[in-house]
Amino acid sequence: MKHDHDPRHLNLTALARERGELALAEHLGDFERLLQESGGLGTERPVRFSAHAEMRPDASGAEQVWLRLRADAVLPLVCQRCLGPAEIAVEVDRWLRFVATEEQAAAEDDASEEDVLVLSRAFDLLQLVEDEILMALPVAPMHGVCPQPVKLQAVDPDFVDAPEPKAHPFAVLEQFKKNRTQ
Ligand SMILES: [Zn+2]
């Protein structure tokens, strides 16, 4: 039954046998490593994900667990171009295949389009979600178009480009009169 699936201790085989799907939303604050990326900001932001599992026969006909993971989140990061705050949307949609041993996973992962992981009795789906979102994050997050770099273009209000002081016309006239009478 679907409500029996605990995403922190997931029995993937059981989920796959019923071709089950878990759809959940947690908070960014529940993912320690994602929160490090955001500098502790956005703890209440949603991290939505769903996991669909099914059994598929391998080349020899033995059943294997396959998992489709989808996740999305918007992280408050720092733009590496203008150093301003930037909302970076991340989406994950990938298939993973589960095998019995580390050796098998290591041997098959490179040659497979899907990720190959080791099947465990209590799989931590949240850790997988966090791993996949971290991998999907841009190395240098940036705005699509940076907002105006306000600080660089701002004019200091105390600094006025004053014109050269001109002699007052009456002062010139006074000087003129003075010179005439001398
Ligand atoms: Zn920017």
Does residue 179 have a pLDDT over 50? Answer: yes
DSSP-derived 3-state class of residue 152:
helix
Does residue 151 have a pLDDT over 90? Answer: no
Output the CA 26–ligand 1 centroid distance in Å.
28
Lowest-pLDDT range of 56-65, 96-105, 163-172: 163-172
Q: How many domains does the chain have?
A: 1
Strands (E), the chain: 21-27, 46-57, 63-78, 85-99, 115-118
Query: Is residue 154 domain-resident?
Result: no
Q: What is the mean pLDDT of residues 149-158?
A: 53
Query: Is residue 182 domain-resident?
Result: no
State the Cα–Cα distance between residues 180 and 125, nearest whole angstrom: 100
pLDDT at site 11: 94
List phi, psi (to 5°) of 105.
-65, -45
State the Cα–Cα distance between residues 47 and 17, nearest whole angstrom: 26
pLDDT at site 174: 59
Output the CA 48–ligand 1 centroid distance in Å.
26
pLDDT at site 2: 46
Query: Is residue 180 domain-resident?
Result: no
Q: Which domain holds residue 142?
A: 2-149
Q: CA Rg, the chain, in Å? A: 32
Output the CA 151–ligand 1 centroid distance in Å.
13
Output the CA 135–ligand 1 centroid distance in Å.
21
pLDDT tens digits, one per residue of 79-107: 999 999 999 999 999 999 999 999 999 99
Output the CA 41–ligand 1 centroid distance in Å.
18
Output the CA 94–ligand 1 centroid distance in Å.
29
Output the CA 158–ligand 1 centroid distance in Å.
28
Output the CA 79–ligand 1 centroid distance in Å.
5
Lowest-pLDDT range of 14-28, 108-122, 149-163: 149-163
Strands 46-57, 63-78: pairing is: antiparallel
State the Cα–Cα distance between residues 149 and 83, nearest whole angstrom: 9
pLDDT tens digits, one per residue of 3-15: 578 999 999 999 9
Output the CA 75–ligand 1 centroid distance in Å.
14
Does residue 153 have a pLDDT over 90? Answer: no
pLDDT at site 121: 86
Q: What is the mean pLDDT of residues 117-143?
A: 95
Residue 106: in which H helix or E strand, if any?
A: helix 102-109
Q: Nearest 5°: CA angle at 23, between 20 and 25?
A: 160
Query: Is residue 170 domain-resident?
Result: no
Output the CA 149–ligand 1 centroid distance in Å.
8
Nearest to 16 by CA among 47, 46, 57: 57
Query: Is residue 165 domain-resident?
Result: no
Does residue 50 have a pLDDT over 50? Answer: yes
Does residue 157 have a pLDDT over 70? Answer: no
Query: Is residue 173 domain-resident?
Result: no
Output the CA 14–ligand 1 centroid distance in Å.
46
CA atoms within 13 A on the CB side of 177: 6
Tokens 């999305």 identify what position?
72
pLDDT at site 1: 46
State the Cα–Cα distance between residues 55 and 146, nearest whole angstrom: 46
Output the CA 132–ligand 1 centroid distance in Å.
24
Query: Is residue 178 domain-resident?
Result: no
pLDDT at site 5: 85
Query: Is residue 116 domain-resident?
Result: yes
